[in-house]
Amino acid sequence: MKRIVIFASGSGSNAENLISFFHNSDTASVTQVLTNNPHAKVLDRCKRLKISALSFNRNAFTKSNDVLNILKASEPDLIILAGFLWKFPEFILNEFNNKVINIHPALLPKYGGKGMYGMHVHEAVVANKESETGITIHYVNENYDEGAIIFQTKCKVLPTDSAKNVAHKIHKLEMEHFPKVVEKLLKDH
């Protein structure tokens, strides 16, 4: 049975979707959720779903081995960033080479990089009058949103769409595709 650890910073809808998808799976299970936000809604979701969840500060993540040691103890086969907003430290990436993936709410390389997350992405897509957008699931490297792409899928952006409409379309794509892509990745490795 493969082990998944999720990092999230916010509400945790993608985390809950993954936890639910793998709840009765023979392939994998989500063993832990880690957050950099002690007030993140993902903590409430984990409590309700009976999943171990911890919050940590920047020092524990980037300056000490605290988070690294938690990960080593968890022995994850895959670390998933699901709405996690901090850049992942290289020393942790080196320890879990090709085992850290992220979901991004745009078709990378467009609308990636520092500060490009959530509504910021959708507002930029609408402001630039894009005709399509989508999601990208990719490996994490030392740069924001630049790791090798695993999966992309698209949706139309209508001239009448607001950023909120686009966010809704992206959320549907995430809910539909993210767990299946993770499952395939785990089965293939």
pLDDT tens digits, 38-55: 999 999 999 999 999 999
Query: Where in the chain are the domains?
Result: 2-188
What pLDDT, on a 0 to 100 scale, did the predictor assign at position 136? 98
Average pLDDT over residues 90-100: 96
Instruction: Label residue 135 by pLDDT band (50, 70, 90).
Output: very high
The answer to whether 166 and 157 have CB atoms below 8 angstroms apart is yes
For residue 9, give the nearest of 32, 38, 31 by alpha carbon.
38
Letter for the amino acid at 9? S
The encoded tokens of residue 164 equal 């909120």
Say what percent of the chain tops pLDDT 90: 98
User: Which residue is listed with tokens 């549907």?
Assistant: 172
Classify the phi-psi angles of 187: left when phi > 0, otherwise alpha if psi is within -120 to 50, otherwise beta: alpha
Instruction: Label residue 83 by pLDDT band (50, 70, 90).
Output: very high
Q: How far apart are CA 91 and CA 107, in angstroms?
A: 27
Average pLDDT over residues 53-67: 97
What pLDDT, on a 0 to 100 scale, did the predictor assign at position 73? 97
Catalytic positions are 104
Identify the CATH assignment for 2-188 out of 3.40.50.450, 2.60.40.10, 3.40.50.620, 3.40.50.170.
3.40.50.170
What pLDDT, on a 0 to 100 scale, did the predictor assign at position 189? 79
pLDDT at 105 over 90: yes
What pLDDT, on a 0 to 100 scale, did the predictor assign at position 108? 97
